[in-house]
Structure 1
Amino acid sequence: MIFRRTAAQSSPLDGVDVVLADLDGVVYAGPGALPHAVDSLNRAQAEGRRLGYITNNASRTDASVAEHLNSLGLQVVADDVTTSPQAAMRLMKDLVPAGSTLLVIGGEGLIVEVEKAGFVVTRSADDSPAAVVQGFAPEVGWKHLAEAAYALATPVEEGGIPWVATNTDWTIPQARGIAPGNGTLVSAVHTAVGRLATIAGKPERPIFDEAVTRTGATSPLFIGDRLDTDIQGARTAGMPSLLVLTGIDRPKQVLAAPPAQRPDYIVEDLRQLFEPYPATIVKGERTRVGDAVVEIDGVDLRIVSAGDRQIDLLRAGAAAIWNSGRAIFGFRVPEQLYADPFRVR
């Protein structure tokens, strides 16, 4: 038996007309650009592809995000940026009449989009808002969350008003470390009212649909660093996805990824967008990527050949586990498979 080829050796960008990228962990970490990110994205643009950026961060406007990206050396206008508040307004237009009053729990990035969409902003449940929209901002506190709870006290089945959250990320990277994200604030309101919000941002589909509308993409590729928001969201939207190992999720998480969170491509950094992506070749219980070969032997996932590139060993290990139909806890996995020389320090 010969090895069975399951993927062609083309680059991840072949056939792509629009590259859509997450920001933190893909383009930058904190205020500064990640190694090779800006040069690689500029190259993709110079080769004729449009670039678009998707962010769950509701605290900044599309214009301020574009300004930040331009300061890093990219060429970006506000229309290239899709934010979770824009996705929230995409949903809201189908939930309440035009010009309705919305109780806004969030900052400038959310307020600007609410007003651009033609809605009226209020900060008080006493103004009888038609809906609540909630997004992250550092200044959001107990008083704001309480107003949301007061407005949402009536259950939906009894005529309660809609509640849209821009996103439910549990954490948000900050210069000093990882801090609680909008998911924790949404959860606080949920605990008070016993209701669930409708989510606009990743991993839900509205933000991806909004990005496609804004960029005119027909064959997009989405780049992210988180499996549970970026990759799952792209898969939900029916969009090919690429995980770059410059951000949150590490090799251990890649190997353990459930079906809904498995990317089409795994790369060390964005330079590999332009490299031929090695085929996954299967022969019986063996899986080969490049010179790396792994083998399933009962409960053991064995390294037959580590090859000369750790990224190919990770790709081979992930493919073997994913194709087995078994979860990672059904295997003994050698530490070498999830070694992590990729982390940006």
Structure 2
Amino acid sequence: MTLLDDYDALLFDLDGTIYRGEEVVPGADRAVEAARAQQVKVRFVTNNASRGPDEVAEHLTRIGIRSTPEEVSTSSQAAAAVLAEKLQPGATVLVVGSDALVHEVELKNLATTRLHDDSVQAVVQGLSKDVGWRDLAEATVAIRGGALWVACNVDPTLPTERGPLPGNGSLVAALRTATGSEPVVAGKPATPLMDEAQRSADAERPLVVGDRMDTDIAGAVNAGLDSLLVFSGVSTPQELLDATEDLRPTYVGLDVAAVTREGVRIDTNRAWADAVREALGRLGLEHEVA
């Protein structure tokens, strides 16, 4: 028996889980194909709002992970859905982020702008490597003026082949400091993105697979879903040992290839520290914790 026998869908995180920048995490391609072969649905669920589903699917396919846009759920889609729920059709949204985010907002019959004026009713913020001071300044004026503020995600860092680099959460922190306000969060660990991915897969028993306890695993906990924490990205064995209840995964693995095996489950009937040490020992990582 493997984890693929127990779940009807896998909700994969991307950055740090399936790939790091342009580098595929070893074994990720085989894990995805094994799921398909067993009729387990696959969804790529990413907090990164810099690219649209078609771009994400193209990138995945180019680096060796076969995928389609329909299998991709992004925080930009979730943020656009949140805006559509809270605003009237045709309302103007100031976008701090990529053109892909602009596109998702406009798909919801909302107008977009990059400059603040009296018509702006909301600000949506997602990762873009081109965001600068002027973009943040426009958003600051809008938020201070009472505009709804929706953040695609609050990940402080973005895993890359060069190591962690500033993520959208770092830019959100700048606006938080400048405005004294808090955004509505659409991506993990908030539930809108996870809920949309589960609906998209029509899944009754999905497994969330990710590398960050503060987003992927916390998002699974908030959505009431089982999760697999992999150590190919951000979170470490020591962080797992120190995790509070809202950050605790169901399983742990070295990488996504763990879905093709039985799965190292953390025994919640034991004291957390003892259960984690036992699980890490099965992975050969017991030396990674104090």
Same fold by TM-score, threshold 0.5 exceeded?
yes
After TM superposition, the structure 1 = structure 2 runs for residues 251-290 of structure 1, keeping only pairs within 5 Å, are 251-277=237-263
Counterpart residue number, 1:54: 45
Asked if structure 2 preserves the Cα contact closer than 8 Å seen for 1:13 and 1:221, the reply is no
> Deviation at 1:181?
1.4
Question: Distance in 2 between the 1:39 and 1:120 partners?
Answer: 42
Larger helix share, 1 or 2: 2
Counterpart residue number, 1:11: 2
Pair 1:336 & 2:284 matched: no
3-state secondary structure, aligned to 1:133: strand
After TM superposition, the structure 1 = structure 2 runs for residues 237-256 of structure 1, keeping only pairs within 5 Å, are 237-256=223-242
Asked if structure 1 preserves the Cα contact closer than 8 Å seen for 2:230 and 2:253, the reply is yes
Distance change (3 Å), C-alpha of 1:138 and 1:98: same
Question: Distance in 2 between the 1:192 and 1:281 partners?
Answer: 44
Question: Distance in 2 between the 1:212 and 1:151 partners?
Answer: 33
> Deviation at 1:310?
3.6
Distance change (3 Å), C-alpha of 1:179 and 1:336: closer
Distance change (3 Å), C-alpha of 1:21 and 1:127: same
1:159-218 residue CA offsets vs partner (Å, 9 max, x unmatched):
x22110101111112443322211121121122221111000111111101111222111
Distance change (3 Å), C-alpha of 1:337 and 1:95: same
Which of 299, 311, 319 aligns to 2:282? It is 311
After TM superposition, the structure 1 = structure 2 runs for residues 111-130 of structure 1, keeping only pairs within 5 Å, are 111-130=102-121
Asked if structure 2 preserves the Cα contact closer than 8 Å seen for 1:313 and 1:337, the reply is no
Distance change (3 Å), C-alpha of 1:236 and 1:272: same
Which of 176, 179, 196 aligns to 1:210? It is 196
> Deviation at 1:278?
5.5
Counterpart residue number, 1:99: 90
Distance change (3 Å), C-alpha of 1:131 and 1:176: same
1:6-48 residue CA offsets vs partner (Å, 9 max, x unmatched):
xxxx532333111110001111111021111111111111111
TM-score normalised by the chain length of structure 2: 0.91
Question: Distance in 2 between the 1:293 and 1:113 partners?
Answer: 43
Question: Distance in 2 between the 1:186 and 1:278 partners?
Answer: 35
Per mean C-alpha deviation after superposition, the further-off stretch among 13-22 and 142-151 is 13-22
Distance change (3 Å), C-alpha of 1:283 and 1:126: closer
Counterpart residue number, 1:83: 74
Question: Distance in 2 between the 1:282 and 1:194 partners?
Answer: 39
> Deviation at 1:258?
1.0
Asked if structure 2 preserves the Cα contact closer than 8 Å seen for 1:90 and 1:210, the reply is no
Distance change (3 Å), C-alpha of 1:173 and 1:275: closer
TM-score normalised by the chain length of structure 1: 0.77
Runs of 4+ in 1 over 6 A off after TM superposition: 279-285
Question: Distance in 1 between the 2:270 and 2:45 partners?
Answer: 40
Question: Distance in 2 between the 1:31 and 1:66 partners?
Answer: 13
> Deviation at 1:282?
9.8
Unmatched runs of 5 consecutive residues or more in structure 2 = none
Counterpart residue number, 1:22: 13
Distance change (3 Å), C-alpha of 1:268 and 1:173: closer
Asked if structure 2 preserves the Cα contact closer than 8 Å seen for 1:231 and 1:241, the reply is yes
Counterpart residue number, 1:40: 31
For the aligned residues, what is the CA RMSD? 2.6
Question: Distance in 1 between the 2:288 and 2:173 partners?
Answer: 36
Pair 1:169 & 2:160 matched: no
Distance change (3 Å), C-alpha of 1:191 and 1:41: same
Pair 1:195 & 2:181 matched: yes
Question: Distance in 2 between the 1:225 and 1:117 partners?
Answer: 31
Between structure 1 and structure 2, the one with the greater Rg is 1
Question: Distance in 1 between the 2:31 and 2:54 partners?
Answer: 22
3-state secondary structure, aligned to 2:94: strand
Unmatched runs of 5 consecutive residues or more in structure 1 = 1-9, 155-159, 295-305, 315-334, 340-345
Counterpart residue number, 1:142: 133
> Deviation at 1:226?
0.7
1:125-149 residue CA offsets vs partner (Å, 9 max, x unmatched):
1252121111110110110000001
Question: Distance in 1 between the 2:5 and 2:65 partners?
Answer: 22
Figure out how many residues of one structure are paired with residues of the other and give that number. 290
Question: Distance in 2 between the 1:27 and 1:202 partners?
Answer: 17
> Deviation at 1:79?
1.3
Question: Distance in 2 between the 1:293 and 1:27 partners?
Answer: 25
